[in-house]
Structure 1
Amino acid sequence: MKVRVRFAPSPTGYLHIGGARTALFNWLFARHYGGTFVLRIEDTDAARNSQEAVEVILDSLRWLGLHWDEGPLTGEATGPYKGDRGPYFQSQRRELYLRRVEALLSRGLAYEQEGAVKFRMRRDPVVIQDLIVGEVVRRLTDREAEDPDFVILRSDGQPVFHLTNVVDDLEMGITHVIRGEDHLSNTAKHIALFEAFGVKPPYYAHIPLILNPDGSKMSKRDRGAAVHFYREEGYLPEALVNYLALLGWSPKDNREKLSLDELVERFDLGQVLRHNARFDPEKLLWLQGEYMRELPVERFYELGVQALQKAGLDTGRYPVGYVKAALDTCYGKIKRFCELPEYGGFYFREEFDYDPEGVARHFVPENAARVRRLREALAQVSSFDAATLEATLKSVAAELGVKPAVLVHPVRLACTGRTAGPSLYHLMEVLGRDRVLARLDRALARPEWAG
């Protein structure tokens, strides 16, 4: 049997982190068995769907690297996705659903009631052989026993989720339905529909839910519930994919950092856990840090420039060599790219504010003469490289009878506006003599020092 799985989101908002994990498990399962991963947009609810939400879902999946294997050529994709295949849209498959409804009506397996069409649900228990949950016997509740039949076509002619879901899985040859455990309550109806169509149902595998750190269900309103949140915060997609894989699944050796190839090689439904998974932001941040430490420097440049530009810093105004040298001093020092504008943004701002606490601590009157003396020495050095700058500062500190830190702190504040950041001597080398002297002059002109 050739494995065929699908991810079938509804375009009613952003891609939820739980939906991303479902897509990932399907994608990994397909890749592990050399199968096919199908993307299907369940957009029959026109009142709640939007094209913007569709684009957000597609963009999030592409960012995560979860590319689908088949679908109609869009003919409209541009830019990096030119020639890409679009997903299947249920809104474009209505005639297919109507034909299936007619088939059920003709065989007495469905009937019309008040303009709608209802499916004759079987009355006996439905046994679900779930690959993760195990055997589940679904019996009708007392309330359902009175009228177990359910609507498959509304009175306005719109097909219902249960029908479209089953018909598409049938038509697309889906072999395994891997979805959230919250869908387990629908499965008995779906199995009954498959049987009514004379087709063996696919294998079902319901994965545990994702909870907040406090154990509450993660809703759309929770911070960090959307995939685009992590993209905006500057996480690497490979770190998020690695972390999502560990939410409800565990490799046999309990390793935590796994490349995408390793995940594909190891992933199977047998290691999916039964209990719900708690989202741990600290563990994700740790994984992110691990991936950042190994990030190729050229990719760090690319993503770093994007983060700076998003913060309104125009790196295009500076020579490429300067930009790369500036980013080199930040490499390995930040965990997320959202930290970069604050950590190294001073390279690309000629005017900036000073940290108020730093001003109170370091722009004190007694430091004015010390910084002026260092400024004179820096103006005279023959080479403005880190080693020379360090030797010069230490020499001036010894001359003044103070520890180097007495000069380091106010000079850092004057050059960057911050009290922490890249190595002082290296950042001064990158800034260059003219910028450093100009920034020292700007600080020395402040009221605290001007007198």
Structure 2
Amino acid sequence: MSSIRVRFAPSPTGYLHVGGARTALFNWLYARHTKGTFVLRIEDTDRARNTPEAVRVLFEGLQWLGLDWDEGPLPDGSVRGDRGPYFQSERSAIYDRALRLLLDRNQAYESDGAIRFRMPRKKIVVEDLICGEVGFDCTLEQDFVIQRKDGSPVFHLVNVVDDLDMGISHVIRGEDHLSNTPKHLALAAALGGTAPRYAHIPLILNRSGSKMSKRDLGASLSEYLDGGYLPQAVRNYLCLLGWSLRENRELFSIEEAVERFELGQIHRSNARFDADKLLWMNGSYLRSLSPQEILPHAERWLESAGYPTGKWAPGYLQEVVLLVKEKVKTGKELVEWARPFLEEEVRFQPSAVKRFLNPDGIRALRELLADLSAAPDFAPSALEARFHSLAQVHGTSVRTYVHPARVATTGREVGPSLYPTLTILGKDRVLQRLRRAIETVAS
């Protein structure tokens, strides 16, 4: 059995940042690659900032990404494994013992009501698995607080105590924590424990080249949940923020990532977040899904948008989803493109009406209405033949009928292929919409 034990230790103060999601993913990948253990630990000692809602959002994000943990709290707050609990707010007795030990050894002292750790005045070398050997001159380092005046323990103490107590073998975290590592090594030594190996992953930068913050667009994982992104696409993209297969291929399965993930292959340079690339990747994943795979996602997106999917036969919804998915990149776009199939009233885009439902367009619709009323076959190929035949009879281009027909039946200038659209809507609804468009504009 592998002795690798890694952890994801977020502080639930609002939402799951994409940087935190990537940290969780890299820890999960390393645990799964080495057949080790992935521990979830909630660092909730800051009672003023931590909320139950933030914890719920955190669980929801990890579950959506498919990052299951081996030890730690379950989403309902109960404990998985036999080493819980994994909420730091419930581990105060463990931190109190560590504080007493440091005070008894004169490696910590009280100062103005707080407790400070005596930082050793020497050079400390961090043997980082990604950054390499990094030296820190701590000869002028100040002693630092490990317990506040109000009695609450500080991040540095609880982080180290928990890593030792839980037998964490590797700490994989953002490079912004590298400067904290000398303190954590010193604390581990003072407590008589063996510190984990450290691996600091590169920062994620925004478009302007600075560290991606909570204020940046696209920084919250919830944006992708709500925007109709696929978890496998987001997961794939997060992998690329610091790691790759080292071949000319960016789309790969999570199984491939697990098989080939190595800490030594994580890039040293910072990663720039590219929202356009993620959008492209999501579209690629969406188009590749089979009918059985995409329908559950589509139903969830539609339900969230206020369309109770039980109103329509599964076969009808599947036809609609398979038609529009070829043209969209997100579930949010899929819902927009599906609206004409799910609503009886057509929502006309003013620009589309102005451009295509002018007098020439209305004349074309009248000719089309007369022709389609007599159509015995409403299959896409039969409809295409009738459009071309009608254009030939009137000595005009087939576009003369295609664009007004699209606007009359969907309200839009652009959309999925017209002939399958008309087939799915059905003859009765198509004729009704053609009449309504003619009457609406004529009046």
TM-score interval for Structure 1 and Structure 2 normalised by the shorter chain: over 0.9
Correspondence 1:416 to 2:410:
yes
Q: Does 1:309 align with 2:303?
A: yes
| 1:186 and 2:187 aligned | no
* 260, 280, 284: which one aligns with 1:286: 280
1:360 CA displacement: 1.5
SS in 1 for 2:173: strand
Q: Which residue of 2 aligns with 1:271?
A: 265
1:358 maps onto 2:352 in alignment: yes
SS at match of 1:178: strand
Aligned to 1:29: 30
Aligned-partner SS, 1:99: helix
Say whether the 8 Å CA contact 2:22–2:239 is kept in structure 1: yes
Q: 1:355-396 CA distances to partner (integer Å, 9 max, x unpaired)? A: 222211211113323322221221222222222222222222
What residue in structure 2 maps to residue 431 of structure 1? Answer: 425
> Which amino acid is the alignment partner of residue 91 of structure 1?
S
Q: In the TM superposition, what whole-angstrom CA distance separates every residue of 1:189-234 from its partner, at most 9, and x where no partner exists?
A: 1101110111121101111100012212111000000111112221
Partner of 1:150: 144
Aligned residue type for 1:112 = E
- Contact 1:344 1:421 (8 Å CA) reproduced: no
Deviation larger for 133-142 or 403-412: 133-142
Query: Which residue pairs with 1:16 in the alignment?
Result: 17
Q: What's the counterpart of residue 96 of structure 1?
A: 94
Aligned mates of 2:433, 2:43 — CA distance in 1: 57
The answer to whether the 8 A contact 1:74-1:84 is kept is: no
State whether structure 2 residue 372 is matched by structure 1 residue 388: no
Superposed CA deviations along residues 59-104 of structure 1, whole A, max 9, x for unmatched, are 1011011111112567667xxxxx9779710001011100111111
The TM-score with structure 1 as length reference comes to 0.93
Contact 2:325 2:334 (8 Å CA) reproduced = no
Other structure's SS at 2:146 match? strand
Candidates 393, 396, 401, aligned match of 1:402: 396
In structure 2, relative to structure 1, the CA distance for the partners of 1:64 and 1:436 (3 Å cut) is same
SS of match in other structure, 1:245: helix
Residues matched between the structures, number: 440
Show the counterpart of 1:201.
Answer: 195
RMSD: 1.9
What is the match of residue 245 of structure 1?
Answer: 239
TM-score by length of 2: 0.95
CA distance in 1, matches of 2:391, 2:51: 64
Q: Partner letter of residue 430 of structure 1?
A: I
- Residue aligning to 2:312: 318
Q: 203, 210, 221: which one pairs with 1:216? A: 210
Distance 1:410 1:72 in 2: 57
Structure-to-structure mapping, 1:65-104, within 5 angstroms = 65-72=66-73, 88-104=86-102
Find the aligned partners of 2:168 and 2:244 in 1 and give their Cα distance. Answer: 25
> 1:250 Cα deviation (Å)?
2.9
Is residue 202–residue 267 contact of structure 2 (8 Å, CA) maintained in 1?
Answer: yes
2:107 corresponds, among 92, 106, 109, to 109
Contact map agreement 1:211 1:279 (CA 8 A) in 2:
yes
Kindly indicate whether the alpha-carbon contact (under 8 Å) linking 2:18 and 2:219 is maintained by their aligned counterparts in 1: yes
Q: Does 1:134 align with 2:135?
A: no
Aligned equivalents of 2:235 and 2:318: distance in 1? Answer: 28
Deviation at residue 254 of structure 1 after TM alignment: 4.4
Structure 1 runs of 4+ with >6 Å offset: 74-77, 83-87
**AA partner of residue 308 (structure 1):** L
Residue of structure 1 aligned with 2:334, choices 327, 332, 340: 340
